[in-house]
Amino acid sequence: MHQPDQRRRKLLRGLAGLGLLVAPLPGWAGSAVQRLRMSVDGDTTRLVFDMDGPADHTIFTLDGPDRVVVDLAGARASDALDVASNPRALVKGVRHAQRNGSDLRVVLDLRAASEPHSFVLLPAQGSPHRLVLDLTERPRATAEASNAREASANATASSGASLREVVVAIDPGHGGHDPGAIGPGGTREKDVVLQIARRLAERVEREPGMRPVLIRTGDYFLPLRERISRARAADADVFLSVHADAIQDRRVQGSSVYILSERGASSEAARFLAQRENNADLRLGGVPIERTDDSLAGVLLDLAQSGSLEASHSLASRLISEMHRVGKVRKPEVERANFAVLRSPDVPSVLIEAAFISNPSEERKLRTASFQGSLADAILTGLRAYFATHAPPGTMIAEGRGDRHIIRPGETLSVIANRYRMTVSELRAVNDLPNDRIFAGQVLQIPLRDG
Per the omega criterion (within 30 degrees of 0), is the bond before 123 cis?
Answer: no
Q: Are residues 120 and 262 in the same domain?
A: no
pTM above 0.75, yes or no: no
Q: Are residues 189 and 88 in the same domain?
A: no
User: Domain for residue 395, yes or no?
Assistant: no
Q: Are residues 34 and 162 in the same domain?
A: no
Taking residue 289's Cβ as centre, other Cβ atoms within 10 Å add up to: 21
Q: Are residues 165 and 230 in the same domain?
A: yes
User: Domain for residue 450, yes or no?
Assistant: no
User: Domain for residue 451, yes or no?
Assistant: no
Distances in Å between the Cα of 337 and the Cα atoms of 258, 263, 402 are 7, 9, 40
- The residues near 323 (Cβ < 8 Å, ≥ 6 apart) are 255, 257, 329, 375, 378, 379, 382
User: Domain for residue 8, yes or no?
Assistant: yes
User: Domain for residue 396, yes or no?
Assistant: no
User: Domain for residue 380, yes or no?
Assistant: yes
CATH number at residue 435: 3.10.350.10
Q: Note whether 405 and 397 are within 8 A (CB).
A: no
Q: Are residues 113 and 191 in the same domain?
A: no
Sequence length of the chain is: 451
Domain enclosing residue 110, as ranges? 3-138
Rounded Cα gap, residues 46 and 36, in angstroms: 10
Contacts of residues 78-85 at CB distance under 8 Å and 24 or more positions apart, as own/partner, are: 78/32, 78/33, 78/34, 78/52, 79/34, 79/35, 80/21, 81/33, 81/35, 81/36, 81/106, 82/36, 83/36, 83/37, 83/38, 83/47, 84/38
Q: Note whether 438 and 407 are within 8 A (CB).
A: yes
Per-residue pLDDT of the chain (451 residues; tens, 9 = 90+): 444 444 434 433 333 333 333 333 344 446 889 889 998 877 788 888 988 888 788 888 888 888 999 988 888 888 788 888 888 899 999 998 888 778 889 999 999 888 888 877 766 666 678 888 888 887 644 444 445 445 444 444 444 346 788 999 999 998 988 898 899 999 999 999 999 999 999 999 888 888 999 998 888 888 888 888 888 888 899 999 999 988 888 888 888 898 887 664 444 444 444 444 334 344 545 444 444 445 444 444 444 555 678 888 889 998 988 888 787 887 778 888 877 777 777 788 898 989 889 999 999 999 999 999 999 999 999 998 888 888 888 888 887 655 677 787 778 888 888 877 788 888 888 888 888 888 877 888 887 654 4
User: Domain for residue 341, yes or no?
Assistant: yes
CATH number at residue 372: 3.40.630.40
Residue 64's pLDDT is what? Answer: 80
Q: Are residues 191 and 311 in the same domain?
A: yes
Rounded Cα gap, residues 339 and 32, in angstroms: 37
CATH number at residue 122: 2.60.40.3500
Contacts of residues 304-307 at CB distance under 8 Å and 24 or more positions apart, as own/partner, are: 304/345, 304/346, 305/265, 305/268, 305/269, 305/345, 305/346, 307/346
- Domain total of the chain: 3
Q: Are residues 15 and 79 in the same domain?
A: yes
Q: Are residues 281 and 313 in the same domain?
A: yes
Q: Are residues 430 and 315 in the same domain?
A: no
Q: Are residues 131 and 207 in the same domain?
A: no
Rounded Cα gap, residues 69 and 310, in angstroms: 41
User: Domain for residue 226, yes or no?
Assistant: yes
Q: Are residues 94 and 229 in the same domain?
A: no
Write the burial class of residue 315 (CB in 10 Å: 0-12 exposed, 13-18 middle, 19+ buried): buried
Q: Are residues 117 and 264 in the same domain?
A: no
